[in-house]
Amino acid sequence: MQETTRQDLETVQKVLREAEQYEHACRVLNYDEETICPKKGMEEQGEIIAFLENRAFSLKKDPAFLAAADRLYEERKELEPLDQVLAETLHRERARTKNITPEMDAAHRKVYSKAFVDWLEAKNRADYRIFAPSLQAVTAAQKEEIAKCEGSYATPYDCLLDQYERGMTQKQLDEIFGTCKERLLPLLQRIRKSKKKIRTDFLSRSVTDEQQKQMAEWLMDVLCFDKERGAITTTEHPFTDGLGRDDVRITTHYYPNQFLSSIFTVIHEGGHALFEQLQPRENWDHFINQNKTMGMHESVSRFYENRIGRSRAFLSLLYPKAREIFPQVLSDVTEEEFYEAVNAVEPSLIRTEADELTYTIHIIIRYELEKEIVNGETDFATLPQRWNEKYQEYLGVTPANDREGILQDVHWASGFGYFPTYALGNMYHAMYATRMAKDLDIEKEAASGSFAGINRWMTDHVFARADQVDAPTWIREITGRDLTPNDFLNYLEEKYGSLYCLKGCE
C-alpha cells in the first residue's frame, strides 16, 4: 500500500470513529425515547437526537474526508478486502448524500422526529388527521432527498428502495409480489373454505406480565442470546437495536390476552439480535458493520420466528414449557391443538400479529400504497380509505378505526422503502432453509432446547459475508441460486395444504 493511500485510510477512519461516537449516543437516546422516555419529554429528546445525528452527518461533509474517501475508492485495489468494502460503501453514500447540505439534513431530521411524536399521539387517539400533516412533510423531505440523489433510477421509489435493499427495483418487486398475489390469494380462499376447524379459544386467555417475562427469558436462553452483550425491555412497537459491538437491545410488548404475541416477538427480535451478536467482530474495526440490507436482516428474524419458531419440532419443545408457565391457558389443550392454533390462518388487521401466510399480503398492501405516495399518485386526505379498501379486497377485513388501520406501523414517520424488505426476508430465508437442510437435521436441532447448532450454520453461511456483498451476491453465495419467491410459496402451500386438509386428510 502506498503511503498516500495509508494516510487517506487513516483520515477516513478518524472521522468515522468520531462520527460513530455521535451515532452511538443517538442510538442510546432513541432506545430511551421508544421505551421509558415520558410522553412530554419525547419532542425535546427527538430534537437532541436530530442535533447529534446532524453532527455526525456534518463530519462526513468535511472536504478532507471526502477527498480521502474519493481517492480510496479510486485506489481500492490496493486495500485489504474489508477496507475495499468500506471504500465502496463510502462511494455509494457519497452519491446519495453529496448534494444534501448539513442544513437540509438537520431540517429533515426535525421533520422525522416530529413525525414520530405525532404518529404516537395519532395512534393513541386513533385519529389519522393528527399525523397527516407530518406524513406530508415526511413525503416532501423524501422527495427533496430523491431529487438530490445522484444515480439513474427508473422511478423515484427506486431511489428510496435502494437505501434499504440496494440493487432492488420497483419493477422487480412488482414481478415478485405479482407472483405472490397469484398464489397466495387463491390459497387463502381455499383455506377459508376448508372444513377443517382449528381450536383457538385458549389464545385469548389472560396471562400476567410476569409470566410473559419468564417466558421471554427462557426463549432468549434457547436462542443462545448472549445476555452479557444484550438486554430486553418493553415498548409500544417492538424493535431491535445494535447499540454497540457488545450491546444489542431487543424489546417486546406484553398483552394480557395475547400470550403468543410476546413469544413470537421475542423470537423475531432475537433473530435480529443474533445477526448482530454473531457477525464477524472485525466488521466493527473496518466500519462496515451496518452494511447489511434490511432484507437480509428481516430474513433472519423471520427465519427464527416462523421457519423454526412455528415448526412442529420447536413447538413440541415449547408446549410443555408454556404449560408450566401459563397453566391457566393450556391445562386443557393438547400439543396438537397448540401446534394448530399457533399456525392457524385468519385474515386480520394487525401486521405484527399476522399469521405466517397472510403476513406477506400485509406487506404488499403497504408496498402498493407507499409507491403511490412517493410517485405522487395519492391523496393524503383519502389515504386511510385506500388502506381500508385494500384490506377488504385482499384480506376481507376492514379496520374499525385508524389505530388498527393506517396508524398501526411507525415506519412512515421516518420515510419509505423499508416495508418490502420484510417480504423479501421471507423469500431469502426459505431459500437458505432449503440449503441448510442438506447439512443439518433442522427438526432435530429445533427440538433440542438450544439453537447452538442452527446458529453455527447461520454464522458460517448467512452472517459471515452479509456486510461485504450486496443481497443478490449474498443469496447466490449461500444457495447457488438467484432470488426467487418460489421456495417460500412452495413451503406455504405444502405446510398449510396439510394443516387445512386441502388435499384431503386421513
For residue range 183-196, what is the model confidence (pLDDT) as tens digits? 999 999 999 999 99
For residue range 389-399, what is the model confidence (pLDDT) as tens digits? 999 999 999 99
| DSSP output for 469-482 | S-HHHHHHHHHSS-
Q: Which pLDDT value is given to residue 167?
A: 84
In this prediction, residue 151 has a pLDDT band, given cuts at 50, 70 and 90, of: confident
Burial of residue 414, with CB atoms counted within 10 A of its CB: 0-12 exposed, 13-18 middle, 19 or more buried: middle
Average pLDDT over the chain reads 95
pLDDT above 90 covers a percentage of the chain that reads 93
The arithmetic mean of pLDDT across residues 87-98, rounded, is 92
For residue range 317-346, what is the model confidence (pLDDT) as tens digits? 999 999 999 999 999 999 999 999 999 999
Marked catalytic residue, from 34, 88, 145, 269: 269
The arithmetic mean of pLDDT across residues 376-404, rounded, is 95
The arithmetic mean of pLDDT across residues 200-214, rounded, is 97
Q: Which three cell numbers stand for residue 204?
A: 385469548
Q: Which pLDDT value is given to residue 445?
A: 97
pTM: 0.92
The arithmetic mean of pLDDT across residues 121-126, rounded, is 96
In this prediction, residue 1 has a pLDDT band, given cuts at 50, 70 and 90, of: confident
Place of cell 425491555: 233
Q: Which pLDDT value is given to residue 505?
A: 66
In this prediction, residue 98 has a pLDDT band, given cuts at 50, 70 and 90, of: confident
In the sheet that 230-234 helps form, which strands lie side by side, from edge to edge?
230-234, 247-252, 240-244
Whether residue 75 lies in the annotated active site: no
Q: Which pLDDT value is given to residue 206?
A: 97
Q: Which pLDDT value is given to residue 391?
A: 97
| CATH assignment, 170-499 | 1.10.1370.30
247-252 vs 230-234, strand pairing mode: parallel
Domain ranges of the chain: 3-150, 170-499
Q: Which pLDDT value is given to residue 506?
A: 57
With vertex at residue 432, the alpha carbon angle to CA 429 and CA 438, rounded to the nearest 5 degrees, is 140
Composition of the chain by helix, strand, coil, percent to 5: 65, 5, 30
For residue range 278-311, what is the model confidence (pLDDT) as tens digits? 999 999 999 999 999 999 999 999 999 999 999 9
The arithmetic mean of pLDDT across residues 171-175, rounded, is 96
- Over 90: is that where the pLDDT of 150 sits? no
Query: Taking the alpha carbons of 28, 34, 40, 43 in that order, is the dihedral positive or negative?
Result: positive
Q: Using an 8 Å Cβ cutoff, are 26 and 53 in contact?
A: yes
For residue range 423-478, what is the model confidence (pLDDT) as tens digits? 999 999 999 999 999 999 999 999 999 999 999 999 999 999 999 999 999 999 99
With vertex at residue 280, the alpha carbon angle to CA 276 and CA 286, rounded to the nearest 5 degrees, is 100
> Any idea what DSSP says for residue 230?
E
Q: Which amino acid is at 258?
A: Q
The arithmetic mean of pLDDT across residues 126-141, rounded, is 97
| DSSP output for 235-295 | -SS--EEEEETTEEEEEE---TT-HHHHHHHHHHHHHHHHHHHTS-THHHHTT-TT---HH
Q: Which pLDDT value is given to residue 282?
A: 96
Q: Which pLDDT value is given to residue 481?
A: 97
Q: Using an 8 Å Cβ cutoff, are 170 and 154 in contact?
A: yes
Q: Which pLDDT value is given to residue 152?
A: 83
Tell me the three-class secondary structure of 156-190, residue by residue. HHHHHHHHHCCCCCHHHHHHHHHHHHHHHHHHHHH
User: Angle 420-436/170-193 helices, nearest 10 degrees?
Assistant: 80
Q: Which pLDDT value is given to residue 281?
A: 94
